[in-house]
């Protein structure tokens, strides 16, 4: 099989259009993107903090026709509704409700999360004992004594509302958090374009800054032992978020975890840096688990 370039992978993914749905779960209206037939095994993709479901637009379609894929906007993100206040518990409840909704998934899906989405995926897997699989992409879980310090700076940046005079200016101001280089400009430009919306005084980011302004950092290290699903931890080789030691410690705590996979040439935003390698690692895990 010919190896796809990033541009080809991106174009093929976007050609397979998802169905966009609004669902009421956990007391809020959530936007979801859906690909494939519901009678196939389910995959639930959860985005990172201040991101949105479209981060998976050029990833999820590559699992068709074998899987039924859902990418969801968390509350306060993307095109989902906003809440008066946010907690990580509420985001976990949203994804738990999605996992357990048989009008969406005919059976429980494999849960795949990136960054903050990976932390939510872990908490879902800690409560649902018969998930077919869990894939954690560059999400760092540390003991309580050092977890809060590493997350505080990102929350301060995301908690500020920013408004721009034009769509073009907003898109130009798009930045990855944490900062990193990314050579795949076509992916960056697409994500930037999908991350902004018009507001009364100009153009702003789709995510709600209130979701991060007072969000309390806490360790979920103890929940790792509660995970019973087959688990794969993926880290970017050059990630500033998930270092090798932390990934190995997480793998040791999750009794069902396989060896950590490190993707060369990737920073924290693995799907932007090495999308083809990420797809292949996910596909290989699903095959090993007979999902």
pLDDT tens digit string along 107-151? 999 999 999 999 999 999 999 989 999 999 999 999 987 644 444
Q: What is the model's pTM? A: 0.96
Predicted confidence at residue 151, as pLDDT, reads: 47
Q: What is the pLDDT of residues 62-74, one digit of tens each?
A: 999 999 999 999 9
Predicted confidence at residue 157, as pLDDT, reads: 75
Residue 1 belongs to some domain of the structure: no
Predicted confidence at residue 155, as pLDDT, reads: 60
Predicted confidence at residue 129, as pLDDT, reads: 87
pLDDT higher than 60, residue 154: no
Q: CA-CA distance, 147 to 264, in Å (whole number)?
A: 25
Predicted confidence at residue 144, as pLDDT, reads: 85
The tokens describing 47, both together, are 């985005």
- Count CB atoms within 10 A of the CB of residue 258: 14
Predicted confidence at residue 148, as pLDDT, reads: 46
pLDDT higher than 80, residue 32: yes
Count the domains in the chain: 1
Residue 139 belongs to some domain of the structure: yes
Residue 168 belongs to some domain of the structure: yes
pLDDT higher than 70, residue 1: no
- Count CB atoms within 10 A of the CB of residue 243: 13
- Domain hosting 214: range is 6-288
Residue 171 belongs to some domain of the structure: yes
Residue 87 belongs to some domain of the structure: yes
Residue 252 belongs to some domain of the structure: yes
CATH code assigned at 31? 3.40.50.1820
Contact 75, 30 (CB under 8 A): yes
Q: CA-CA distance, 185 to 84, in Å (whole number)?
A: 36
Residue 215 belongs to some domain of the structure: yes
Predicted confidence at residue 218, as pLDDT, reads: 80
Predicted confidence at residue 146, as pLDDT, reads: 61
Residue 277 belongs to some domain of the structure: yes
The tokens describing 196, both together, are 């902004």
Q: What is the pLDDT of residues 159-213, one digit of tens each?
A: 788 999 999 999 999 999 999 999 999 999 999 999 999 999 999 999 999 999 8
Beta-carbon contacts of 128 under 8 Å, excluding residues fewer than 6 positions away, are 96, 99, 100, 108, 229
- Count CB atoms within 10 A of the CB of residue 100: 14
């Amino acid at each position: 099989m010919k190896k796809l370039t990033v541009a080809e992978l991106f174009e093929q993914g976007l050609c397979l259009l998802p169905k966009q749905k609004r669902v009421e779960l956990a007391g809020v209206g959530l936007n979801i993107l859906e690909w494939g037939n519901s009678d196939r095994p389910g995959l639930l993709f959860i985005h990172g903090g201040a991101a949105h479901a479209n981060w998976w637009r050029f990833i999820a379609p590559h699992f068709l026709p074998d899987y039924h894929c859902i990418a969801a906007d968390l509350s306060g993100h993307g095109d989902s509704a906003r809440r008066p206040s946010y907690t990580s518990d509420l985001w976990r409840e949203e994804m738990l409700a999605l996992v357990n909704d048989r009008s969406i998934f005919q059976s429980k899906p494999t849960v795949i999360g990136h960054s903050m989405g990976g932390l939510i995926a872990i908490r879902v897997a800690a409560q649902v004992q018969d998930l077919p699989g869990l894939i954690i992409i560059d999400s760092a879980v540390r003991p309580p004594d050092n977890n809060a310090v590493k997350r505080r700076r990102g929350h301060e940046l995301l908690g500020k509302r920013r408004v721009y005079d034009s769509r073009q200016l907003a898109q130009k101001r798009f930045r990855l958090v944490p900062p990193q280089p990314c050579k795949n400009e076509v992916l960056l430009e697409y994500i930037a374009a999908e991350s902004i919306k018009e507001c009364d005084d100009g153009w702003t980011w789709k995510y709600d800054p209130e979701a991060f302004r007072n969000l309390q950092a806490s360790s979920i290290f103890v929940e790792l032992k509660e995970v019973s699903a087959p688990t794969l931890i993926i880290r970017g080789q050059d990630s500033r978020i998930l270092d090798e030691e932390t990934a190995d410690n997480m793998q040791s705590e999750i009794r069902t975890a396989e060896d950590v996979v490190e993707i060369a040439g990737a920073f924290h935003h693995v799907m932007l840096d090495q999308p083809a390698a990420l797809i292949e690692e996910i596909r290989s895990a699903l095959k090993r688990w007979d999902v």
